[in-house]
Structure 1
Amino acid sequence: MEGRLPNRPTLADEYRVSVDTISKAVKELAREGLVIISGRYGTPRARSVCEDDRVSKQEWEALTESERAFLINSYEIDILPGVWGDLDEAGHSSPVGELAQVLLGLVDRGWIEVRRVAPWTSPAGQEGFQPGELVPRDRLPALLCDAANWEYPEDGDWIGALTLVETAEGRKITRMSPEELTE
């Protein structure tokens, strides 16, 4: 298929399956990058062979300020408290519980992973940090409700702190197209 695909009820009728089955299939095709979900009603369309995986400036600007702050933080592979530096004034006044919901939404979209900071030693012998083990999704709500995780460690030891890491899908969100870079 090329171009705009028929709506889900039409596809369901054509293939003699439920609309729910079509919705699941469309989500899987989108996850695989074979279709793009666009428009007000999430209409699927086939991906052009000339299309790259980056979002447009318009799509980036459609994100909330808080979502952008978390995506920037993940791009920087910063620890969770680093998001305070990327939040706007409204974000700074948001309760941690609200910010946790925003972050969980980005995790659920597959754009960000939450990991623990682990020690790292360079080939030259210099010690540093790197993203370590992935924090299981079911443990995130409790960890994100703990205000201590939103503050820099008092002792300066980042080992074990929560760090945000962008995924391959997240990278598509934080990169602009070549045309937009020249604007």
Structure 2
Amino acid sequence: MTPLEWDSLPEFEQDLLVCATEAWGILPYATDQHRGIGDPRAEAAAAARMVLELVDRGWITVHRIVPDAAGVGAAYGPAITQQLDALLADPDTWDDPDGVSWNGELAVALTPAGRSAIAR
């Protein structure tokens, strides 16, 4: 992606893509600077549309963080494909994790196509 192409993306999509490159890509962390500017349901709906757009482009996947097989750490669960739009439309999805465990939280991860798109 050229700098011009990157600059043409909405700021929140840029934030989601950056979040997806981070170690865990916890979804609520991508929204910190965009939170509190209006109605929580409207904000969640707008954020959900942008996440779904990146999913539809094949650039990111959405997962829950789950305990790892050894039970001592965490891992990505399978990509969520069923009813993702309803899950993302829930304002609670976008709340910061309360505790030190991220188990159960939604996370975004770059796909190979997403890595290729932002590497151009």
What interval of TM-score do these two structures reach, taking the shorter chain for normalisation? 0.7 to 0.9
Q: How high is the TM-score relative to the length of structure 2?
A: 0.82
Match of 2:75 among 109, 118, 130: 130
Q: Which has the higher contact order (CA 8 A, sep 6+)?
A: 2
Q: Does 1:81 align with 2:28?
A: yes
Q: How high is the TM-score relative to the length of structure 1?
A: 0.56
Question: RMSD of the alignment, in Å?
Answer: 2.1
Determine the C-alpha separation between the residues in 2 that align with 1:83 and 1:64. Answer: 13
* Residue 120 of structure 1: aligned partner: 68
SS in 1 for 2:78: strand
Count of aligned pairs between the two proteins: 114
SS in 2 for 1:153: coil
Determine the C-alpha separation between the residues in 2 that align with 1:144 and 1:156. Answer: 22
* Residue 160 of structure 1: aligned partner: 104
Match of 2:113 among 149, 160, 169: 169
Determine the C-alpha separation between the residues in 1 that align with 2:117 and 2:8. Answer: 11
Which runs of no fewer than 5 residues in structure 2 stay unpaired? none
Which runs of no fewer than 5 residues in structure 1 stay unpaired? 1-54, 177-183
Quick check: which one's helix share is greater? 2
SS in 2 for 1:78: coil
Match of 1:96 among 44, 48, 73: 44
SS in 1 for 2:103: coil
Calculate percent identity across the aligned residue pairs: 32
Ranges of 4+ aligned residues in structure 1 off by more than 6 Å: none
Determine which structure has more spread, i.e. the larger CA radius of gyration: 1
Determine the C-alpha separation between the residues in 2 that align with 1:62 and 1:150. Answer: 25
Distance 1:67 1:170, change over 3 A: same
1:148, distance to aligned residue in structure 2 (A): 1.4
* Residue 64 of structure 1: aligned partner: 10
Determine the C-alpha separation between the residues in 2 that align with 1:127 and 1:175. Answer: 34
